[in-house]
């Protein structure tokens, strides 16, 4: 209660409802259709629905909107449950719209008996022709005035499987001239002789969204049914059905879905990327799916923080993916174990180092005093990053250059004395001297350097594979460009570096570990790893002020 944060419009409504005594507690639901994997946009809805009942008394159901058997699969149900749990939420009841098929059928019969629904034999083309347009009224179907008895008989026979797919529908009898297209005798039931992932072959008629969603809300006594803006026009039908059926009055509220730049969040488009092999699967680390983010190394905390920061409103929006990256960096900075990994090795020989090697201590995480340290082997021959040396350095280059000194992280200060090149002039090796009295933590050398480099001891180095990811698309809004959205895929969204060298402590990595490869970015072990062949995914890079400086200069 100490928090001063202002309420979003849904919280305002809820607080009002609670204060007025309209409800003692609230009930929300997260209603995915099991026809694809959840993405970052869904995360927003999950955090909203579950977050509300975490903040206010009440609970949230997980309800699968499984009314279209031809696109829905158990695989999706399982992935959705896993993703919601991973995000850190618990549902009160696990429900399915298909649980209510019997009740929904009874509801349909009631509407027929009230003269509020009829069986239509029109084809979908005929129906479309009679529907009118947003500016012109529709016309009544010739089947609109069938008797209650006839409608009942036909509907029962529809259910009994006497008619082929597409031959008949059950429609609500509202008003073909209604200004709201959805009120022009919307279809309630259609015939689909299809196998359903839960009810099998029990049914051959399936309710449409509008005759399932609101009724399911009502059956579960959902108080606040929260959906996205495109359902605003459906609300009139939602309310009409509840009123005519005289069932529990759930209420629908709409908020604007979140769009994020440089990606797509449409299940249809994501499915295409998967089916047409533009990515390795739903959990490809470049995908904006929850499973993709998880494999990429995002933490549930950071995704929740992101959803919290972008808030909830009703206006169109395009959230900068940079905010998501900020959130994950913020969390990972606190928890990631620091390790040294050289991506593009350049050999360094410490010419005055005569020992056989030694083990130095290095902190696991400077942000975490309790994090402890690990041992890192130092020896005469090391790898440093090729980028960390320049023969002719520009101004303000704090890394290694002929005659210049740097500190090797957690080790010694070295000076570059000699550059060894091959016939083509490519730098092969650096000859350096080290200053024994500059040892990290016990530095009495009096030397001071501007740069600190990461490094690995060649004889102790563990070869690993690193997969570097960049945004999947090269434009902010691929769906807003001319032509196919796939034309705007970023060809450099994945770079595999098969031979990079890590300090030995990394060999013990497990899937749940989060690492910061010092000066390189945040990484996580990939599930493709084999014993002896570790693969790391780049979650996100570190902010890079030097790269920015270089860019400005050139």
Partner RNA sequence: UGACCCAUGGUGUAACGGUAGCACUACAGAUUUUGGUUCUGUCUGUUAAGGUUCGAAUCCUUAUGGGUCAACCA
Footprint on residues 531-550 left by RNA (CB under 7 A): 542-546, 548-549
Please answer whether residues 417 and 335 qualify as being in contact, where contact means their C-beta atoms are separated by less than 8 angstroms.
no
Q: Tell me which residue of 270, 293, 296, 286 sits closest to 87, measured CA to CA.
A: 293
Residue whose structure tokens are 């500059």? 438
Identity of the residue, 166 or 463, whose beta carbon is nearer to RNA in the bound complex:
166
Spot the catalytic one: 11, 33, 236, 465: 33
Query: What is the per-residue DSSP string for 490-510?
Result: -TTSEEEEEEEEE-GGGGG--
User: Binding residue for RNA (CB under 7 A) from 22, 55, 114, 309?
Assistant: 309
C-alpha pair distances (Å), 397 with each of 200, 371, 427, 449: 68, 32, 18, 12
Identity of the residue, 291 or 404, whose beta carbon is nearer to RNA in the bound complex:
404
Please answer whether residues 536 and 525 qualify as being in contact, where contact means their C-beta atoms are separated by less than 8 angstroms.
yes
User: Binding residue for RNA (CB under 7 A) from 2, 135, 275, 512?
Assistant: 135
Q: Tell me if 199 contacts RNA by CB under 7 A.
A: no
The residue range among 153-161, 241-249, 293-301, 390-398 that interacts with RNA, by the rule CB under 7 A, is 390-398
Q: Tell me if 79 contacts RNA by CB under 7 A.
A: no
Spot the catalytic one: 54, 192, 257, 471: 257
Closest approach of RNA to the CB of residue 527, in Å: 26
Helix ranges (DSSP H) in 354-427: none
Under DSSP, the state recorded for 162 is -
Identity of the residue, 166 or 249, whose beta carbon is nearer to RNA in the bound complex:
166
Identity of the residue, 444 or 528, whose beta carbon is nearer to RNA in the bound complex:
444
Closest approach of RNA to the CB of residue 149, in Å: 22
Please answer whether residues 277 and 248 qualify as being in contact, where contact means their C-beta atoms are separated by less than 8 angstroms.
no
Please answer whether residues 403 and 415 qualify as being in contact, where contact means their C-beta atoms are separated by less than 8 angstroms.
yes
Strand-pairing partners, residue 293, are none
Separation between Cα atoms, residue 386 and residue 424, nearest integer Å: 16
**467-526 positions binding RNA, by CB under 7 A:** 516, 518-519
Please answer whether residues 323 and 305 qualify as being in contact, where contact means their C-beta atoms are separated by less than 8 angstroms.
no
Q: Supply 262's token pair.
A: 């440089």
User: Binding residue for RNA (CB under 7 A) from 13, 18, 109, 127?
Assistant: 127
Identity of the residue, 516 or 537, whose beta carbon is nearer to RNA in the bound complex:
516
Identity of the residue, 65 or 284, whose beta carbon is nearer to RNA in the bound complex:
65
- Known active-site residue 267: yes
- Known active-site residue 527: no
Binding-site string for RNA from residue 1 to residue 30, where x marks contact by CB under 7 A and - marks none: -----xxxx--x------------------
User: Binding residue for RNA (CB under 7 A) from 396, 421, 495, 527?
Assistant: 396
Q: How many CA atoms lie within 13 A of 167 on its CB side?
A: 12
Q: Supply 108's token pair.
A: 């349909």
Spot the catalytic one: 267, 439, 467, 514: 267
The residue range among 20-28, 88-96, 132-140, 464-472 that interacts with RNA, by the rule CB under 7 A, is 132-140
Q: Tell me if 441 contacts RNA by CB under 7 A.
A: yes
Q: Tell me if 299 contacts RNA by CB under 7 A.
A: no
Binding-site string for RNA from residue 348 to residue 387, where x marks contact by CB under 7 A and - marks none: -----------------xxx--------------------
Q: Tell me if 271 contacts RNA by CB under 7 A.
A: no
Written in H, E and C, the secondary structure of 232-288 is: CCHHHHHHHHHHHHCCCCCEEEEECCCCECCCCCCHHHHHHHHHCCCCCCCCCCCCC
**40-69 positions binding RNA, by CB under 7 A:** 65, 67-68
Identity of the residue, 317 or 352, whose beta carbon is nearer to RNA in the bound complex:
317
Separation between Cα atoms, residue 52 and residue 13, nearest integer Å: 11
Closest approach of RNA to the CB of residue 341, in Å: 11
**211-230 positions binding RNA, by CB under 7 A:** 212-213, 229-230
Please answer whether residues 210 and 186 qualify as being in contact, where contact means their C-beta atoms are separated by less than 8 angstroms.
yes
Q: Tell me if 439 contacts RNA by CB under 7 A.
A: yes
Q: Tell me if 314 contacts RNA by CB under 7 A.
A: yes
Separation between Cα atoms, residue 264 and residue 269, nearest integer Å: 7
């Amino acid at each position: 209660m100490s928090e001063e944060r202002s309420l979003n419009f849904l919280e305002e409504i809820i607080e009002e409802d609670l204060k007025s005594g309209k409800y003692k507690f609230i009930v929300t639901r997260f209603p995915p259709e099991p026809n694809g994997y959840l993405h970052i946009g869904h995360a927003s809805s999950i955090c909203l629905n579950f977050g509300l009942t975490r903040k206010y008394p009440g609970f949230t159901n997980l309800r699968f909107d499984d009314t279209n058997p031809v696109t829905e699969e158990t695989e999706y149900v399982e992935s959705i449950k896993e993703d919601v749990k991973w995000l850190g939420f618990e549902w009160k009841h696990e429900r399915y719209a298909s649980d209510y098929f019997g009740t929904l059928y009874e509801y349909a019969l009631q509407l027929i008996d009230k003269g509020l629904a009829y069986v239509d034999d029109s084809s979908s083309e005929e129906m479309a022709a009679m529907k009118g347009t947003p500016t012109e009224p529709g016309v009544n179907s010739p089947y609109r005035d069938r008797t209650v008895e006839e409608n009942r008989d036909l509907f029962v026979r529809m259910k009994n499987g006497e008619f082929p797919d597409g031959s008949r529908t059950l429609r609500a009898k509202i008003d073909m001239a209604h200004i709201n297209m959805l009120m022009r005798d919307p279809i309630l039931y259609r015939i689909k002789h299809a196998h359903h992932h839960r009810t099998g072959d029990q049914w051959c008629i399936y309710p449409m969204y509008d005759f399932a969603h609101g009724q399911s809300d009502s059956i579960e006594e959902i108080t606040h049914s929260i959906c996205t803006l495109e359902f605003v026009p459906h609300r009139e039908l939602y309310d009409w059905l509840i009123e005519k059926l005289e069932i529990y009055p759930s209420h629908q509220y709409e908020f604007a879905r979140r769009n994020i730049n440089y990606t797509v969040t449409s299940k249809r488009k994501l499915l295409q990327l998967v089916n047409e092999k533009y990515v390795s699967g739903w959990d490809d680390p470049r995908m904006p799916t929850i499973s993709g983010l998880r494999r990429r190394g995002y933490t549930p905390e950071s995704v929740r923080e992101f959803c919290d920061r972008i808030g909830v409103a009703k206006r169109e929006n395009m959230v900068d993916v940079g905010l998501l990256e900020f959130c994950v960096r913020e969390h990972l900075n606190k928890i990631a174990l620091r390790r040294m990994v050289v991506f593009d090795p350049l050999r360094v020989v410490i010419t005055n180092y005569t020992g056989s090697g030694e083990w130095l201590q290095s902190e696991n995480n400077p942000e975490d005093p309790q994090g402890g340290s690990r041992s890192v082997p130092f020896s005469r021959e090391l790898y440093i990053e090729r980028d960390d040396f320049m023969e002719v350095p520009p101004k303000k280059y704090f890394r290694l250059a002929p005659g210049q000194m740097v500190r090797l992280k957690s080790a010694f200060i070295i000076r570059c004395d000699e550059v060894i090149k091959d016939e083509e002039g490519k730098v092969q090796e650096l000859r350096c001297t080290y200053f024994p009295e500059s040892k990290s933590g016990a530095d009495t050398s009096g030397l001071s350097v501007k740069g600190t480099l990461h490094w690995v001891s060649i004889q102790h180095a563990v070869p690993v594979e690193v997969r570097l990811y960049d945004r999947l698309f090269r434009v902010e809004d691929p769906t807003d460009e001319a032509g196919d959205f796939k034309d705007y895929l970023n060809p450099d969204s994945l770079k595999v570096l098969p031979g990079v060298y890590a300090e030995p402590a990394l060999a013990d990595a497990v899937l749940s570990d989060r690492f910061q490869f010092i000066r390189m970015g945040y990484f996580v072990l990939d599930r493709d790893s084999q014993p002896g062949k570790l693969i790391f995914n780049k979650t996100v890079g570190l902010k890079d002020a030097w790269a920015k400086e270089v860019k400005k200069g050139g």
